[in-house]
Amino acid sequence: MIIALLQFLADCVCLTAALILILIGAGFIAIIARFLFDQLRGVKDPEAIALPEDELPHVLLQIPVFNEPAVTEQALRCVAQLDWPRDRLHIQLLDDSTDETPERAEAVARELRAQGADILHVRREDRSGFKAGACAAGLALFDAPYVAMLDADFRPPANWLKRTVPLLVKDERAGFVQSRCEFANFRKNWLTRAQGLVQDGHFLIEQRTRARAGWLFQFNGTGGIWRRETIEASGGWSDYSLCEDLDLTVRAALGGWHGVFVTEPPIPGQVPEELRDFRRQQRRWSNGFVQVAQKTLLPLWRAPWTLTQRIAAIVLIVHQIFFPTAALGLIALMLGALLRGSLTPYLPVLKFIGIETAIVVLGFTLPPYLALKRGSFVDYVKTMLSVPPLMIYLAFSNGAKILQTMRGRKSTFKRTPKIETAPAAPTQVREAE
């Protein structure tokens, strides 16, 4: 009797998990299908707009940092070289550091000020609100109509602002522009290669496709420019979530603003090189997505959008549920197979999920890999095969924390460690793409 009850419970969990995973996979397949449709139609990024020099607006560029001395120094030197009038580019270093970063950064800032750069070194008494709190504090100090944001490890090319800001100037309902990000250290080891493969798919397939289709897509927290009016009309930065960027994106969309995505030029940054740091970063993102979903799920469903737009938005904010679902499903599967003495009853569902997983992984990773000429096909296969096991690892390492967040547990913002590397040349997408 007890064994039969355990079998029934294990089967119920397996079935529920399988249905959720299949639905999540279907959402990604829909994005891949739309991407291929856009490719066949020859859909392009928004055309570049050139503004006369005297029409270029004031831009506030914010760089939030915490205990990142080397990358902070280089970040300041990089942004000081941006091709934008010196009297209209106002750089804010939002420095919450508790180590030697403030002293080292201020020395570089003084040097660059002497060369004509406008750099304000902003220090707070505490880290209240973390990144969101730092950005809000910086906004209160200057009233520029456009706000560019960069994490300390990102190195924009000189023409970045001239490619992106005019798109906001000419489109009054565009709330932000998000540039494609890529990663200078993605060749470092197997983990960085796997992350680079996934992130290329995120930007070149998911972000670009969502933007082109008019679906909700997220501001990534770096490599983008906000219209100040959008931030203020949406209620400003909020620190209830670890993904303050996604939260503001959703509130802006509900207020009638839309985002713009540009593929070129890309903004090189870094991915974590150690498994512990990667796990911590992914846990922060997953928990942040869950926090945003809990607060915005119903407003998104009630939004005055088409059914497709509402479903696409909901898929975006709930897909992190994959991790605890996969973990619970695999545990129930092993228990059910043990109790039955065989995996045979579960094979049809496992085969279906396996095929769906292959379609998603290939569809999201192969087109960007080819378009960006990342390497040989053999290298692609080796890296691609590491992605599903890595996701399963995250399912077990982070799944419990995500469930705790769903129950109201609060988390502390923990920055991902970064190291200074030599600047990498941005990778251009082939014209065929």
List, by residue number, the catalytic residues.
96, 245
Question: Contact 233/151 with Cβ under 8 angstroms?
Answer: no
Residue at 68: amino acid letter: E
| C-alpha dihedral sign at 223, 226, 231, 236 | positive
Q: What letter does residue 205 receive in the DSSP assignment? A: I
User: Token digits for 428?
Assistant: 């251009």
Question: Contact 401/283 with Cβ under 8 angstroms?
Answer: yes
Phi, psi of 223 (to 5 degrees): 70, 35
Residue at 416: amino acid letter: T
Q: What letter does residue 8 receive in the DSSP assignment? A: H
The 10 Å Cβ neighbour count of residue 163 is: 21
Whole-number Å distance between alpha carbons of 395 and 406: 15
Question: Contact 183/271 with Cβ under 8 angstroms?
Answer: yes
The 10 Å Cβ neighbour count of residue 52 is: 6
Question: Contact 277/417 with Cβ under 8 angstroms?
Answer: yes
- CA angle (192, 413, 79) in 5-degree steps: 65
Nearest Cα residue to 168 out of 43, 51, 38: 51
Question: Contact 134/66 with Cβ under 8 angstroms?
Answer: no
Nearest Cα residue to 138 out of 73, 417, 80, 129: 129
User: Token digits for 133?
Assistant: 């709190």
**What's the longest Cα–Cα distance across the chain?**
81
User: Token digits for 331?
Assistant: 């545990």
User: Token digits for 308?
Assistant: 């497709």
